[in-house]
């Protein structure tokens, strides 16, 4: 059989959807060099606290952090059936002087789990600016269209009018809640620390001849050197697997928020009120050449649905970690944690692309409003008649009868809504005919929507954008596929 890359399964998230930086963050190179960095930091801290480790050994460790022989490590793992020890051996092979002190006093999770936490932290730092970029672009869209009246829906039935910008703020509100949740989870991440086999630090207590304060200081130093403000005070062999559940849950919630938004965009695209980007050479259908399907929004919904369902994996894993730990977490975590971030990253990339190219079609929106506006205006008409001395109950009955007649014309005959014509022809409404243009002005039906948008953008959206402003990249986001 051929050894071509086309003969081997690879995840679509790594080949089609996720960003280069997120894929690197979960790569073997990032993982194994992080392991080596942690072995180096551990040795440095042990030396600083009095263990017999030389500067030459530390230099050798630092100089070889990136010198990973991946093939040799893979062969070693086949023999040892242990990934950490395979890399201890291959690291020692290129560090002959430092080899004897690599992994001194440590257990696998002192390296593997702490490396995983570094990767999770860095993944959040890649994702959050992208989320903020979507917030920024959608905020600009909301501001631009805050006065544009559009038909609001409840139960996907015509309701009162809102504005295009106000509807965008509903999506923004969800994204802001997601940013708040994700940034909290990221801020709460701690280092596992240097805790030893079952979290008791027994091996390190032996290394430091029973000096508990030095053991505590070793934990603190490696934690700070790795860029974390604190470590978990107590652990078993692993950091709490509830942390993984929190991490993936925050991403799954983001998936739900974006799925709702892109579902709305798909509905609006079906009504021809809003269109996502459609390139000149893009093909909407192999058979129906005229089609302009909202494929980007459909992609987001598809991947978001996958992301939303991943949360059951870390929940289940956390629930079955027997006593100090069991190894049935390992394979699941390799799949779930990386895939969750790659999925979240891909939907942020695609959403940004959608938002930067959204088109609004005001004439279609206006035509859709006109179909139902006469019904919505009936309360205004009744109030205007009462102000001219009319009887509210009499006016209500006339409006009810005329509305039913107009509705029958629309539903049974397929004609336009002619309620307004029926009102104009009825002598009863003669006193207010000159007010009808004002009573039917869509801008008078949107209430406080424009002002709500203005204040929401200032008070809630802009602070999120400002938080990430130096890291946001929103211009001309391209999708390879």
Active-site residues, by number, are 155, 285
> 402 and 419 in contact (C-beta within 8 Å)?
yes
Show the tokens assigned to 406: 């107009």
The count of other CB atoms within 10 Å of the CB of residue 211 is 15
Q: Please, are residues 17 and 342 in contact by the beta-carbon 8 Å criterion? A: yes
CA nearest neighbour of 296 among 307, 306, 284: 284
Say what the alpha-carbon torsion angle 385, 391, 393, 397 is, to the nearest 10 degrees: -60
Give DSSP secondary structure letters for 44-96: HHHHHTT-S--HHHHHHHHHTTT---HHHHHHHHHHHS-HHHHHHHHHHHT-T
Please tell me the total number of residues recorded for the chain in this structure.
481
The answer to whether 251 and 182 are in contact (CB under 8 A) is: yes
Q: Are 127 and 19 in contact (CB under 8 A)?
A: no
Give the span between the Cα atoms of 122 and 117, in whole angstroms: 8
Burial class (CB in 10 A: 0-12, 13-18, 19+), 196: buried
Extract the tokens encoding 237.
């062999």
**3-state SS class at 22:** helix
CA-nearest of 196, 181, 320 to 246 is 181
The closest of 40, 31, 200 to 104, measured between CA atoms, is: 40
Cα(296)–Cα(358) distance, rounded to whole angstroms? 11
In 213-315, where do the E strands start and end? 274-275
Note whether 204 and 218 are within 8 A (CB): yes
* Secondary-structure percent of the chain, ordered helix, strand, coil, rounded to 5: 70, 5, 30
**SS3 label, residue 172:** helix
Q: Check if the beta carbon of residue 189 is closer than 8 Å to that of residue 117.
A: yes
Q: Identify the burial level of 260 via C-beta atoms within 10 angstroms of its C-beta, where 0-12 means exposed, 13-18 middle and 19 or more buried.
A: middle
Buried b (16+ CB within 10 A) or exposed e, 41-52: bbbbbbbebebe
- Between CA 187 and CA 194, with CA 189 as vertex, the angle to 5 degrees is 140
């Amino acid at each position: 059989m051929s050894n071509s890359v086309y003969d081997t399964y690879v995840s679509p998230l790594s080949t089609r959807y996720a960003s280069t930086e997120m894929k690197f963050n979960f790569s073997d190179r990032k993982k194994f060099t992080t392991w080596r960095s942690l072995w180096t930091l551990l040795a440095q801290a042990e030396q600083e606290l009095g263990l017999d480790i030389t500067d030459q050994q530390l230099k050798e460790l630092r100089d070889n952090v990136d010198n990973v022989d991946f093939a040799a490590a893979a062969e070693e793992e086949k023999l040892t059936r242990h990934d950490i020890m395979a890399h201890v051996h291959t690291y020692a092979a290129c560090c002959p002087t430092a080899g004897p002190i690599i992994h001194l006093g440590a257990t696998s999770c002192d390296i593997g789990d702490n490396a995983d936490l570094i990767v999770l932290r860095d993944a959040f730092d890649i994702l959050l600016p992208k989320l903020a970029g979507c917030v920024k672009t959608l905020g600009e869209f909301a501001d631009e269209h805050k006065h544009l009246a559009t038909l609001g829906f409840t139960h996907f039935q015509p309701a009162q009018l809102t504005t295009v910008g106000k509807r965008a703020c509903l999506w923004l509100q969800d994204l802001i809640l997601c940013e708040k949740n994700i940034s909290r989870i990221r801020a709460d991440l701690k280092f596992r620390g240097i805790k030893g086999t079952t979290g008791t630090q027994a091996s390190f207590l032996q290394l430091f001849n029973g000096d508990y304060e030095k053991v505590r200081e070793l934990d603190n130093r490696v934690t700070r050197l790795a860029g974390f403000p604190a470590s978990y005070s107590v652990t078993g062999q692993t950091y709490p697997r509830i942390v993984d559940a929190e991490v993936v849950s925050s991403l799954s919630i983001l998936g739900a928020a974006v799925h709702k938004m892109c579902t709305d965009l798909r509905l609006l695209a079906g009504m021809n009120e809003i269109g996502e980007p459609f390139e000149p050479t893009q093909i909407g259908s192999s058979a129906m050449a005229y089609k302009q399907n909202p494929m980007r929004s459909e992609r987001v919904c598809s991947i978001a649905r996958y992301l939303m369902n991943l949360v059951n994996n870390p929940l289940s894993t956390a629930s079955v970690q027997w006593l100090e730990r069991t190894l049935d977490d390992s394979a699941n975590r390799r799949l779930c944690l990386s895939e969750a971030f790659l999925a979240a990253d891909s939907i942020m990339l695609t959403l940004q692309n959608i938002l930067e190219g959204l088109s609004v079609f005001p004439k279609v929106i206006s035509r859709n409003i006109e179909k139902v506006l006469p019904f919505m205006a009936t309360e205004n008409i009744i109030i205007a008649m009462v102000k001219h001395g009319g009887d509210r109950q009499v006016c209500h009955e006339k409006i009810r009868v005329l509305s039913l007649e107009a509705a029958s014309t629309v539903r049974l005959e397929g004609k336009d809504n002619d309620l307004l014509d029926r009102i104009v022809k009825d002598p009863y409404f003669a006193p207010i005919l000159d007010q009808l243009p004002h009573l039917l002005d869509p801008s008078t039906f949107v209430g406080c929507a424009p002002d709500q948008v203005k204040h929401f953008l200032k008070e809630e959206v802009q602070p999120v954008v400002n938080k990430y402003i130096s890291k946001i990249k929103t211009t001309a986001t391209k999708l390879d596929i």
